[in-house]
Every structure is written in structure tokens, then in C-alpha cells.
Amino acid sequence: MVTLRVILAPLAMHLRRSVTVHRWTPVRKCSLAGCSYKLRHQLHPVWQSPLSVPGGRRQSPINITLRDSLHDPHLKPLKIRYDSNTCTQIWNNGYSFLVEFDDSTDKSTLSGGPLLNQYRLCQFHFHWGESNAVGSEHTIDGILFPAELHLVHWNASKYKSFEEAVMEGDGLAVVAVFLKIGKRHEGLQKLVDALPAVRHKDSVVEFTSFNPSCLLPTCLDYWTYSGSLTTPPLTESVAWIIKKKPVEVSHDQLAVFRSLLFTSADEEEQKSMVNNFRLQQPLMNRTVRSSFSPFLGSMEPQPQTEQ
């Protein structure tokens, strides 16, 4: 990774622009064909890179087994402090939609939990399925959820930029929240209402005064493990923090996610933005730690029924 960083860092710095422009991440070639859900024998373009570097030893996503996760009483509560004024825009990047934040200052940060440093929020996005039976990237004892939220933060205590942090083992921290079908989520609705404006790939719309804290469950319990990005460049730079309790959204709200398109307005064949999740990766020798004791309180993840 050092060699790759030396090559890519100057390029990353050159391409680093203001937050109003989309983030660029360096390309790490790898064997991608086995990474992605295959829909009708077609791979999404994001997974069609050339094959070269094999996968590493801390890839994501994974299945979390309750029996094998280890309660760590030293894990601290997460400290999440988001400022709605740092929210800037929504971007359909052709694989998901990214809600982007101004990360030039320490206004929206994550610390505590398993983290030794302070991390800045740069964007959040979701992964979801074509139906409620699939969608989440992580699973709990093999149970899938219809969607999964990822709040992406980078280590601003140690690194100068997201592009620098993404190449480092302690560079990123992603908070993941499962979505299940239930009652309408009032906090999410402002975002859902804005989505028709970014229906096509590469469309961007201004989106401000939004605090993503409203998308977090009230329960503080989480699992944590060391992993990777789940989209190329798949760098092994992520401290994953998976919230135990899902949040409820309505079927209609997820239907708006599914009305988005992978394709740009000028493409002949339009493709629905669904099944934008990576296949699960081997745990290897990693330990998943939990902030809570499995013997206290309800451990039952609630399975998702098809609607």
C-alpha cells in the first residue's frame, strides 16, 4: 500500500477540490468480479475493473455472528456531534446517492467508541435491494435487512484529507445502521423528497440544513471490527461501527430509493438503482467486538419479512 500511496498521493492532492465537487478516490485494481451481486448476468460498471491484486485479510462486508462476537467492556460510547450547516448536496454517483458534507473544519465529528482519534463526517449513503428480501451489506446471524445506511468519516487528527486517510489502516470510520420496513421515518422524509431531483447518474442537487443524527437509532449498542470499503478501491482503512438496532422506514420511502437510476439521462437503456451492495467477505482471523453484553437485554435482530 505504501507504493500505491506514493504514486497516488500527488494525484489525489491534485484532484482534491472543494467539497462542492465530488470526491475522488484512488483506484486499487483487484479481483472484482466475485464481489458484486450479479443481476441478470450483468455486473454494475463499478465492479468491471481489470483483475490484478487479490483481496486482503480485512475485507468488508461480513456476517456478524452473535455467538462469536466478543463483549468488550472497555468500549466507550460513541460521541457523535453533527452540525446540520455542514450538509451541502446530494449526488447520484451512478451506484448510490451520496449526501455530502463540508469537512474542512471539525464541525461534524465522530469520536469515542473504538476510535483513538476524531473523525470528520464527509458523506453518507445507503445500499438497498430490489425487494425487501435483500439490500444490506452486513448481516446479523445471516439475517438480511432491506437497506443499510453508511455514515463515512475520516481521521482528521492524523491525516490532511479524505484522500490521504482512505489509504491508511486507521483512516476511516463508518457508522452503519440497518433499515427495516415499518412506520414512515419523519427525519428521512426530507431526503426522500429531494431524491427525484437526482434520479439520473451524475445529477447533483443542493441539500442543506440536514442533521443525519435523526437517522440513528436511540439505542447506543454497537458491534465493531476492522474492515474495508465495500466499493472500489476496497482499501482496508475502515473501523466499522454497526449499530445493533435498526431504524424503521416505510415501504414507500424505500420505493423512492428504488426509483433512482444507475444510468445517465442520455443512455438508451435505463437501469434501476437497486442491489447496490457488495457480496460478503471472509472474516479471516478477525474478532467482532460488541459494546454490550449478549446476556443483557434483547439480542433478537428482527428479521425482515417480504412486502
Binding stretches for Zn ion (CB under 5 A): 150
Using the minimum distance from each CB to Zn ion, give the nearer residue, 87 or 176: 176
Cα separation, 254 vs 4, whole angstroms: 38
- Minimum CB separation from Zn ion for residue 113, in Å? 18
User: Residue 162: phi, psi to the nearest 5?
Assistant: -60, -45
Give residue 95's identity as a one-letter amino acid code: Y
- Minimum CB separation from Zn ion for residue 230, in Å? 5
Using the minimum distance from each CB to Zn ion, give the nearer residue, 216 or 292: 216
- Minimum CB separation from Zn ion for residue 152, in Å? 7
3-state secondary structure of 187: helix
CB neighbours of 277 closer than 8 A, spacing ≥ 6? 37, 61, 127, 128, 129, 134, 135, 136, 137, 148, 230
Give residue 48's identity as a one-letter amino acid code: Q
Q: In angstroms, what is the C-alpha Rg of the chain?
A: 18
Cα separation, 101 vs 85, whole angstroms: 9
The CB-nearest residue to Zn ion is 150
Using the minimum distance from each CB to Zn ion, give the nearer residue, 274 or 292: 274
Using the minimum distance from each CB to Zn ion, give the nearer residue, 175 or 292: 175
- Minimum CB separation from Zn ion for residue 173, in Å? 13
Copy the grid coordinates of residue 146: 432491506
Using the minimum distance from each CB to Zn ion, give the nearer residue, 82 or 126: 126
Using the minimum distance from each CB to Zn ion, give the nearer residue, 125 or 244: 125
Strands (E), the chain: 63-64, 70-71, 78-81, 87-92, 97-101, 109-112, 119-128, 139-140, 147-155, 172-181, 204-206, 222-227, 238-243, 247-249, 289-290
- Minimum CB separation from Zn ion for residue 27, in Å? 17
- Minimum CB separation from Zn ion for residue 125, in Å? 6
Q: Answer for the pair 47, 32: CB distance below 8 angstroms, yes or no.
A: yes
